[in-house]
């Protein structure tokens, strides 16, 4: 090997080492590339079923939903919701809604979108149905309330009103204002 080849080989080796050193110095470390961000990693459930119990631990009600997702603000959002009371509670009501929100700070379930509460009676004539777009339900006390427009049907009779307070346990409904109805014999 000639001295010229050896010098060329040394120059190429120095150039390769120099370019490797410069390239490794410009590389971002993983810590520099992605700054630390506090991301809430809550849970989500498909075909969710949440059970509510009374003070003595017996089943009081259940919330069923197609989808449930925990949010960072300590609430749970539900879609396609059904709330049923247990047969032992002797509360014959079932509540349906497009969406619901359950917050840790409040015992109420906030229901929105095509909210429908039904109570089956001894016959079809006694079946009661409540429809509204917004309803606050306290499932432990069996109290439902809204300030929105509400439509109530009992058999063939129907009423509309603005606002309602209902005790599902006592089968009692109080309408707040703008009450209109159709009562047929």
Task: Give the pTM.
Answer: 0.72
11 falls within a domain:
no
91 falls within a domain:
yes
> What's residue 20's pLDDT?
78
124 falls within a domain:
yes
Q: What does the pLDDT average to over 63-75?
A: 89
Indicate if the pLDDT at residue 26 is higher than 80: no
Mean pLDDT, the chain, whole residue set: 84
> What's residue 123's pLDDT?
57
13 falls within a domain:
no
Number of separate domains in the chain: 1
67 — pLDDT class (breaks 50, 70, 90): very high
List the 59-70 sheet strands across, edge first: 44-53, 59-70, 75-85, 93-103, 109-119, 128-138, 143-154, 157-167, 172-182
25 falls within a domain:
no
CA distance 172 to 168: 7
77 falls within a domain:
yes
Q: Which one, of 73, 65, 61, 71, lies nearest residue 45 by Cα?
A: 65
> What's residue 27's pLDDT?
58
Q: What does the pLDDT average to over 101-130?
A: 85
136 falls within a domain:
yes
CA distance 146 to 142: 14
Cβ–Cβ < 8 Å for 134, 150: no
Question: Which structural domain, as residue segments, surrounds residue 172?
Answer: 44-182
104 falls within a domain:
yes
Indicate if the pLDDT at residue 9 is higher than 70: yes
Indicate if the pLDDT at residue 59 is higher than 80: yes
Q: Which is more confidently placed, 103 or 9?
A: 103
CA distance 77 to 34: 30
Q: What is the CATH number of the domain that holds 57?
A: 2.60.450.10
């Amino acid at each position: 090997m000639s001295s010229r080849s050896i010098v060329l080989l040394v120059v190429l080796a120095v150039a390769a080492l120099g370019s490797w050193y410069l390239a490794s110095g410009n590389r971002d470390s993983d810590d520099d590339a992605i700054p630390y961000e506090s991301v809430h990693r809550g849970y989500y459930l498909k075909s969710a079923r949440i059970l509510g119990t009374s003070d003595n631990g017996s089943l009081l009600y259940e919330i069923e939903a197609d989808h449930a997702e925990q949010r960072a603000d300590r609430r749970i959002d539900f879609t396609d919701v059904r709330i049923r009371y247990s047969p032992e509670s002797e509360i014959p009501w079932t509540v349906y809604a497009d969406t619901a929100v359950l917050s840790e700070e409040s015992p109420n379930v906030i229901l929105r979108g095509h909210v429908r509460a039904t109570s089956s009676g001894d016959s079809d004539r006694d079946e009661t149905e409540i429809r509204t777009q917004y309803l606050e339900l306290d499932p432990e006390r069996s109290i439902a309330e809204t300030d929105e427009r509400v439509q109530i049907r009992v058999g063939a009779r129907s009423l509309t009103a603005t606002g309602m307070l209902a005790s599902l346990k006592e089968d009692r409904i109080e309408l707040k204002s703008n009450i209109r109805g159709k009562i047929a014999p």
